[in-house]
Structure 1
Amino acid sequence: MKKLDLYKTLAILIGLSILGCNPLKLDEIDDPNNPSVSSVSNNATKPQIQFVLTGLESRHRGYVTNVSQAWNTFGREIWYLNGSDPRFQTDWLGQNGRVPDRSYFGFGNTGGGSFAAPYQAINQANVLISAATNASVLSDAERRSVIGFAKMIQGYQFMIPANFVYNNGIRIDVADPLNPGPFVPYDQAMDHVKSLLDAAESDLMAAGNGNFPFSLTPGFAQFNTIPRLRQVNKAILARANAYRKDWQGVLTALNESFMDLNGGLNAGPAHPYLGPPDAFNPLFYIPNAATNTIVVVHPSVLEDATPNDSRLAKFFQRNNPVTVSTDAGTLTGTHQDARWANNTTPIPFIKNEELILLKAEAHANLDQFADAVAAINIIRQAAGIGVYSGASTRTALIDEILYQRRYSLWAEPWGHRWIDARRYDKLSEIPTSFDSGTIFTQFPHPQAELSWDQYVGN
């Protein structure tokens, strides 16, 4: 399990099928070292299923770099300063009136990690489901556990393109890459996420209460039993239900998740980065490295911080600021990311701190203000900034929760602030004065997505 990259060959082949019609018919090539898609879909062996499963975990983290750099730029949690290519500043910040189009830098041709990578993971999960369904070597409990895990990952991954293109809609019927379904609206896409996570729960329940029957990477080290995977699935459902504005659904999911009001705030499953032959943590930068290509803390985050907040330890003040010149002026980064001890530190993809803040948000929206304040205070006291003393109204509490999410979930590989501001019609509150840019609401479908329709139609 320490050689995650060895499983990428099959993942790449599978991923290609979601982006093209596979004119080379790669599945027909006999590879003595790696199973083909057709071979694992028809009475696969347990080692083959393990191969596809670990490949799915690799695909599951495929969005991290692009989403972390871009979405957190859109929400002005960071700047991704790049001295070699000014488009990371001019385009991503929307300088000089630049707005997203179908060929937008970093996304428009392939969709990048915000669009293509999630669908590659979704398609890999479909292959895993097919392999488990048709494998005679698996017991019913083993089969259902694998299928449940795959559907859980699909539910998580569908939320990425859905929140990227938002009201432009996404495809949810992608089982047949040669005949994908139509684009559906955001609300329908999020309902599909819920249906996948509900189906994952049913499968995992049917799998019993024992250990997961295959090896998972160290990112699931504390969640490698069926009951614990069900808790992860419920945590993802809580996030999805918040996007669906199903506040009672958020609380119900949280009560069955790994949320622990007295536990460590960073507890949760993670994307592992194990070093060669696996990948390194893409968000790690050497402190004070002499570079002009680096993620830096957005000045507004530093300016708006509460004094003595322990979460400010996430920000490392550089000896020498990083500066990059753009047509709209010079951008200066004084602080860099200090969350990662080294380049093999895992990156959590959902954690206890977020769940507690989701609990606060759900209670506030249900006008259960005392419960909302109690959850807020868990986060505030952990940050060393004392208890909440503001008004107990829905508006005031939502503002407080969004502020706490801004620092508790800063620059995580999800773009929380960008999505949060959009959810509450607060995009205009994200400052652009530091970079003379624009705050985007959503992105159009990548050109490759439309070209695909034309290609298949022919």
Structure 2
Amino acid sequence: MKKLTIKTSVLAIAAAFFTSCNPFHIDEIQDPNNPSVESVSNNATQQQIQFLVTGLESRHRGYVSNVTRAWGTFGREIWNLNASDPRNQTDWLGQNGRVPDRSYFGFGNTGGGSWATPYQAIKQADVLIVAGENTENISVESKSAVIGFAKTIQGFQFMIPANWVYSNGIRVDVKDPLNPGPFVPYDQALAAIKGILDEGDQALQAAGSGDFPFTLTSGFEDFNTIPKLRQVNRAITARLDAYRKDWQGVLTALDASFMDMNGDLNAGPAHPYGAAPDVFNPIYYVPNAPVNSIIVVHPSMLDDATPNDKRVAEKFFKRDEPVLVTTDAGALVGEYQDGRWESNTDPIPFIRNEELILLKAEAHAQLDQTSEAVAAINVIRTAAGIGSYAGSTSKDALIDEILYQRRYSLWAEPWGHRWIDARRYDRLGEIDTSYDSGTIFTEFPHPQAELSWDEYKGD
């Protein structure tokens, strides 16, 4: 037990399945409301599979709070001001020479939400897959549907640890929590994730063309049919293919996604939130609340904004009283807070039509398909009220424009797009640190608990 305690922030496989909070690790006490893994691995009932589906959706949103705050801070989209725990500023901003180590705040020994949580969702999906494959209580098409849904979520979740540690690589083979596979390099991990998403799409194809056979939450309200879930799968694949620099792959995936050049830019699946016994939107703050712990807009977002950009007016709420937090590198002042949410029960989209249109623009620009790239850019610029693009149509100029529009269109979404965008275009040095005297991180090392795994296995 001592060794397990040492490794609680790990490879979530251990954290998810060997700690007391695991909803499935209850073999000693058989609770009918929380079935053991064994009880759902053989001939699970429809109700048990429904519980697993709902549980996977819950696990799927576990990353939102920490990833939004951390990656948004790394990319200087936001400051996560917190007077009670200065590490939210000093560590995440890399002030006074601080650099990520194996026990870094919010990621290492204290970072379950950053490292362990995605793997918990991945393992939840594995349980759902096994339950779907090994039951006679649902149809063959329904089995394919749950497998396709599970693999779609797995593909999304694997991208989170992959982008945390980047060139250090991640474990992709985690089906056996006591025997996880080796770390694989970033590019190899992305290729494996592509395979998982493609398998999910193939399973969904085999599920027919009707409604998803189990109940999904309101976050999938417009995506609860098999064809619509395939569109979600392909949307996630388009994001992944951009990271893989497979530009034709991006366009192919987008053609099969829910991207709509004439549609609602906010359309897309979301993480739902609600009052107890559910949980509230974790990044909502009451406007003008007298607090000293809050997400605020990074000042450079205001400095670099295009005049009359509707996104600035709609997303950035100017407070009557700024929030001031003092660090050992100086004071940080937040004048604007997040203005996107009307209440603490608002859903948070995890991929939207606006991102897909920008991915289309990027892929066309990379393929020297200038007119198509400009057309997609202009959809975004027109919606923002800043007029059509009139700059150079060289590839470099178009990529500059697309990255700029991504910065405002995808601001503080639960992914940290700017940090990843700057890294994949080797532009981390362009991120403004003048307001906080900090450092821009490229990647994180594996948490110490992760590296302790082989030692633990050997004892």
Match of 2:169 in 1: 169
- TM (norm. structure 1) is 0.95
- Aligned residue pairs total 445
Match of 1:436 in 2: 437
Cα deviations by residue, 1:207-261 (Å, 9 ceiling, x for unpaired): 0000000000000000000000000000000000000000000000000100000
Report the CA distance between 1:19 and its aligned residue.
2.5
Report the CA distance between 1:112 and its aligned residue.
2.8
SS where residue 325 of structure 2 aligns? strand
Cα deviations by residue, 1:45-100 (Å, 9 ceiling, x for unpaired): 00000001100000000000000011000000000000101111100000000000
Match of 2:233 in 1: 233
What is the alpha-carbon distance in structure 2 between the residues aligned to residue 319 and residue 376 of structure 1? 35
Deviates more, 1:365-374 or 1:24-33: 24-33
What is the alpha-carbon distance in structure 2 between the residues aligned to residue 162 and residue 102 of structure 1? 16
Structure 1 residues 21 and 281 mapped into 2: Cα distance closer, same or farther (>3 Å)? closer
Match of 1:85 in 2: 85
What is the alpha-carbon distance in structure 2 between the residues aligned to residue 175 and residue 137 of structure 1? 24
What is the alpha-carbon distance in structure 1 between the residues aligned to residue 310 and residue 16 of structure 2? 48
Match of 1:372 in 2: 373
Match of 2:448 in 1: 447
What is the alpha-carbon distance in structure 2 between the residues aligned to residue 22 and residue 64 of structure 1? 23
Match of 1:284 in 2: 284
Q: Does 1:138 align with 2:138?
A: yes
Q: Does 1:18 align with 2:4?
A: no
What is the alpha-carbon distance in structure 1 between the residues aligned to residue 274 and residue 212 of structure 2? 22
What is the alpha-carbon distance in structure 2 between the residues aligned to residue 92 and residue 194 of structure 1? 30
What is the alpha-carbon distance in structure 1 between the residues aligned to residue 214 and residue 79 of structure 2? 40
SS where residue 27 of structure 1 aligns? coil
What is the alpha-carbon distance in structure 1 between the residues aligned to residue 154 and residue 426 of structure 2? 28
**Which residue type is aligned with residue 333 of structure 2?**
T
What is the alpha-carbon distance in structure 2 between the residues aligned to residue 292 and residue 16 of structure 1? 32
Maintained 8 Å contact 2:16/2:120: no
The RMSD of aligned alpha carbons is 1.4
Match of 1:243 in 2: 243
Cα deviations by residue, 1:181-214 (Å, 9 ceiling, x for unpaired): 0000000110011101100111000000000000
Moved over 6 A (4+): none
What is the alpha-carbon distance in structure 2 between the residues aligned to residue 69 and residue 16 of structure 1? 20
Report the CA distance between 1:113 and its aligned residue.
2.3
SS where residue 180 of structure 1 aligns? coil
What is the alpha-carbon distance in structure 1 between the residues aligned to residue 110 and residue 436 of structure 2? 27
Structure 1 residues 279 and 417 mapped into 2: Cα distance closer, same or farther (>3 Å)? same
Maintained 8 Å contact 2:378/2:388: yes
Report the CA distance between 1:23 and its aligned residue.
8.3
Maintained 8 Å contact 2:90/2:327: yes
Percent sequence identity over aligned pairs: 72
Unaligned runs of 5+ in 2: 1-10
Match of 2:192 in 1: 192
What is the alpha-carbon distance in structure 1 between the residues aligned to residue 59 and residue 175 of structure 2? 17
What is the alpha-carbon distance in structure 1 between the residues aligned to residue 51 and residue 60 of structure 2? 14
What is the alpha-carbon distance in structure 1 between the residues aligned to residue 13 and residue 371 of structure 2? 51
**Which residue type is aligned with residue 74 of structure 2?**
F
Unaligned runs of 5+ in 1: 1-14
- TM (norm. structure 2) is 0.95
Match of 2:75 in 1: 75
Maintained 8 Å contact 2:12/2:116: no
Cα deviations by residue, 1:108-152 (Å, 9 ceiling, x for unpaired): 115432211100000000000000001111110000000000000
What is the alpha-carbon distance in structure 2 between the residues aligned to residue 434 and residue 178 of structure 1? 46
